Amino acid sequence: MRVLATTVVRESIRGKQRTGYIYDIDWNAGEVLRKLPVPEPRFPETEDNPRGGVRGGRGVAVTRHGIVVANYDTLIVYDDEWNVLDEISHPLFVGTHEIDWDGEHVWTAATAIDAVLRVSLDGTATVAWDPHDPEVAPTFRISRRPHPVDGSVDYRKREAPLIDQCHLNGVTRRDGLTVVNCGLIRPAKSKAAKLQAKVVSRGRSALRLPPPETRRHSGSSVVLSLNGSVKPDVLVRLDGNDFPTHNGQFLDGERVAVNDSTANTFRVFARDGSELLHHQIPGRWLRGMEPVDAGRVLLGSAPASVSLFDLDEQRIAETIRLSEDPNEAVHGLTLCPEPADRR
């Protein structure tokens, strides 16, 4: 079994050290066949989040045309020997997180603008779903989109402000359905609420009071399915969150899995929302998920490791450690089939 993983070295200093790697793994041999650095983004000035920002590798997908690896603003296409075949960027490619391939298009989560994109390998990109659509935004109590996402505005160059009210960080395709992970939805504050918060903040500062508890438990993490309409079907909803979930997707036609990063917990739900499995994974920054078969799934964590989780026995069957750096975290995971078996 050939496994591909990408990593992010959190808090790394771009320009002075590598910010992430691609790992080509022979799982059966327990061996890393190849480790190579993720290319730097083209527009690194777009975002400066010290926890992740523009660093490292994001999603990875295998196509019949080559292996596609995402960084913050570019899709890099490699052959099997890791020679670069092409590089694709677009005005909507900002904050790319997970990606998937459906046989014709790369689907990407453009986290920095809260959008799901459908991308052709000729570089054409369109918005496949927008939670800020007027028909959808009221459902999540978020604002409508203030700027266009038709390609006329180049978000890589900050021609318009970024928008991240849903932290839309995952997208997968299964049996014609698109499943989306909105990692952390925070309802938009009213003008009155914003004014009240400002007054309270200034009052506490004037009285030299300590800052309030930062955890607000006010966010929701949602895994949803797009069924051809603008309004989605909610598969899993976790309320009272302060940290985003990742990788929500179908394991099969009846089970939905999500990486709950609040406590590094792998969780599985039935389609009716009832929880079937709740298992804490060792390490930090749980993210990266790839079903192997009906009974096994690959999961990523930090220090950069990939674990094979047995769903029936509810335990980790095997782990391969990729790095000893506690700040290096797995981001993208996928199986790499033989060329003849690729779509």
List CB contacts of 16: < 8 A, sequence separation 6 or more: none
Least confident of 10-14, 30-34, 101-105, 126-130: 10-14
Residue 157 confidence (pLDDT) above 50: yes
Residue 100 confidence (pLDDT) above 90: yes
Alpha helices (H) along 240-288: none
Could you tell me the CA-to-CA distances from 295 to 27, 244, 302 in Å, in that order? 17, 26, 24
Residue 166 confidence (pLDDT) above 80: yes
Could you tell me the CA-to-CA distances from 208 to 195, 199, 213, 214, 318 in Å, in that order? 20, 14, 15, 17, 52
Query: Residue 52: what pLDDT?
Result: 56
- Given its phi and psi angles, is residue 53 left (phi above 0), alpha (psi -120 to 50 degrees) or beta? left
8 Å CB contact between 268 and 297: no
Domains of the chain: 2-188+217-341 (2.130.10.10)
At 225-263, the pLDDT tens digits run: 998 778 899 999 999 988 999 999 999 989 999 999 888
Residue 212 confidence (pLDDT) above 60: no
Indicate the SS3 state at residue 46: helix
- Given its phi and psi angles, is residue 123 left (phi above 0), alpha (psi -120 to 50 degrees) or beta? left
For residue 56, what are its two tokens?
């490292």
Residue 75 belongs to what H/E stretch? strand 74-78
**Closest Cα partner for 35 from 62, 66, 5, 61?**
5
At 116-135, the pLDDT tens digits run: 999 999 999 999 999 999 99
Query: Residue 10: what pLDDT?
Result: 86
Q: b/e map of 105-131 (b: 16 or more CB within 10 Å)?
A: bbbbbbbbbbbbbbbebeeebbbbbbb
Query: Residue 192: what pLDDT?
Result: 45
Radius of gyration of the chain (CA): 20
Query: Residue 167: what pLDDT?
Result: 97
For residue 279, what are its two tokens?
């298992």
- CA-based angle 238:242:248, to the nearest 5? 45
